[in-house]
Amino acid sequence: MTATKLMPIPGHIDPVPVPRPDLVEGITPREDGRVDLIGLPKKRIAELFETAGLDAKAAKLRAKQVFHWLYHRGVTDFEAMTDIAKTMRPWLAERFVIGRPEIVEAQHSSDGTRKWLLRTADGHDFEMVFIPDADRGTLCVSSQVGCTLNCRFCHTGTMRLVRNLTAGEIVGQVMLARDSLGEWPKSGQADLAALDDDLVDEDGGYSADGRLLTNIVMMGMGEPLYNFDNVRDALKLVMDGDGLALSKRRITLSTSGVVPKMERCAEEIGVNLAVSLHAVTKDVRDEIVPINKKYGIEELLQACADYKGASNARRITFEYVMLKDKNDSDEDARELVRLIKHYKLPAKVNLIPFNPWPGAPYECSTPERVKAFSNIVFEAGISAPVRTPRGRDIDAACGQLKTAAEKKSRAELERLYAEKEKALG
Ligand code: SAH
Ligand code: SF4
């Protein structure tokens, strides 16, 4: 019998014991003990640096530098942070990481729309879509993997809620898009842009000039107001002048009508609001947007009237999906006008032709019907453009997002919907 002696592995170095910064409340390090900095505000980064051994003044200064590199320059490697001492960079890399969601698949539509299938570090898939237009480029960002709600025309509604995305995973989508579009300012360019009035709008954010990604809509998978804190924290980083520096006027949050969170949305986030109205009578909205059974149309429209972030210059968008013989009559259009006027809402209406998905129980209204509906609203003095569906060929259009696209039977769907409605109470 030969005795096996454990040989030291050549070149093997024991891992440096890193002080785990989990003393900072609410921050969970990754399995390797390092902390992902993406998603954290500057103040939290400074706290982490202090816990890891820097004195308070140095921690604050380093946090400011690192924050700038992360969000303004988009670097993904501490080595690239050239104004941080060479010896300090490995110190950072041992303790921290600069995360991005993993890209599983990237698709390009014939109309220029791009869709990415992304994966969280713990293996959950979600989607993000970029829609280029002549004068703007809009990124459609997800807030949850799946959705707790069950709007009957929405493919995401046929998924269970897997989990909320973290602030890092939400802002990480914007950063990934900038990576993919090659949009991080090169050395010196960021500061030049900040000095050039033409490139900076009134809030200090970038204007459209020369940029592909100019607008963000929280209209991907999930209900953003059911993941309020993470969405708020992520959007703060997007709006931060030292961060991604996108103006709040260029960001829109869409809700299916989570009334109790709408006031906080105006106060704590302050972005433009879009509301998925989709119907003007209780019966129809109860059926197609079942959260209506909890927060009805009157309550929802009153919350819109009270929304502090809206004015004639910043109108609330009412989204209205056009479903054949369901919500698309002249009478529906007239009732929509009446409601908007009754609540004195600074409103515009977006008419969205229904985007089909396998097994969907509805059809899209005819183009003539959509036009007639639009005309009635328009003639009452309310803007009512018909949205051109984008990226349908790659299932990137509104309501088509759903990962792990297994088709559920009608009976399975009914069971799932009943379960969701029970949970909603
Ligand atoms: N959960 C949020 C945001 C994501 S959905 C919300 O419901 O508002 C983004 C928009 O797409 C919503 O207005 C939604 O109602 C709409 N939508 C969902 N499914 C659709 C479909 N199949 N066709 C067209 N629009 C759809
Ligand atoms: Fe969820 Fe919005 Fe889809 Fe409704 S429309 S199921 S709230 S993602």
The C-alpha angle with vertex 172 and arms to 168 and 177, in degrees rounded to 5, equals 170
What is the residue extent of each domain of the chain?
Answer: 4-97, 102-419
Non-local (6+) Cβ contacts of 401 within 8 A are: 127, 129, 142, 155, 156, 220, 221, 395
Distance CA 169, CA 128 (A): 11
**In ligand 1, which atom is closest to the CA atom of 254?**
8
- The minimum-distance atom of ligand 1 relative to the CA of 147 is 1
pLDDT at position 391 is 87
Domain 4-97 and domain 102-419, same fold? Reply is no
Supply the pLDDT for residue 24: 63
Question: What pLDDT does residue 309 have?
Answer: 85
CA of 256 to the centre of ligand 2 (A): 7
Which top CATH class is 102-419? alpha beta
Ligand nearest to the CA of residue 357, numbered in listed order: 1
Average pLDDT, the chain: 88
Roughly how many angstroms between the first and final C-alpha of the chain, as a whole number?
69
Q: Using CA atoms, how far apart are residues 319 and 309, in angstroms rounded to an integer?
A: 18
The residue behind tokens 């050549």 is 10
Cβ 258 under 6 angstroms from ligand 1: no
Residues tagged active-site: 127, 398
If pLDDT is split at 50, 70 and 90, which confidence band does 94 have? very high
Residue 210 pLDDT: 64
Percent of the chain with pLDDT over 90: 71
CATH number of 4-97: 1.10.150.530
Q: Is any atom of ligand 1 closer than 6 Å to the C-beta of 154?
A: yes
Q: Is the pLDDT of residue 14 over 80?
A: no
Q: Does 352 sit in the ligand 1 pocket, CB within 6 Å? A: yes
- 233 Cβ closer than 6 Å to some ligand 2 atom: no
Query: Which residue is closest in CA terms to ligand 1's atom 3?
Result: 219
Q: Is the pLDDT of residue 49 over 70?
A: yes
Name the residue at shortest CA distance from atom 6 of ligand 2. 157
* Number of Cβ within a 10 Å radius of residue 110: 9
Average pLDDT estimate for 358-379: 96
Rounded to whole angstroms, the Cα distance separating 59 from 47 reads 7
8-state DSSP, 24:
S
Atom of ligand 2 nearest to the CA of 155: 3
184 — pLDDT class (breaks 50, 70, 90)? confident
- Whether ligand 1 lies within 6 angstroms of the CB of 351 is answered as no
Predicted local distance difference test score (pLDDT) of residue 145: 95
Crossing angle of helices 167-181 and 228-239, in 10° steps, is 40
Instruction: Please tell me the least confidently modeled range out of 1-15, 159-173, 234-248, 311-325.
Output: 1-15
Per-residue H/E/C for 96-141: EECCCCEEEEEEECCCCCEEEEEECCCCCEEEEEEEECCCCEEEEC
In the prediction, which pLDDT does 401 show? 75
Distance in Å, CA 87 to ligand 2 centroid: 49
- Of 273, 384, 406, the C-alpha closest to 328 is 384
Is residue 401 within 6 Å of ligand 1 at its C-beta?
A: no
pLDDT band at 393 (very low <50, low <70, confident <90, very high): confident
Quick: pLDDT tens for 226-253.
Answer: 999 999 999 999 999 999 999 999 999 9
- How long is the chain? 425
Ligand 1 contacts CB of residue 319 (under 6 A): yes
Check residue 203 and give its pLDDT: 47
Query: Closest ligand 1 atom, CA of 223?
Result: 1
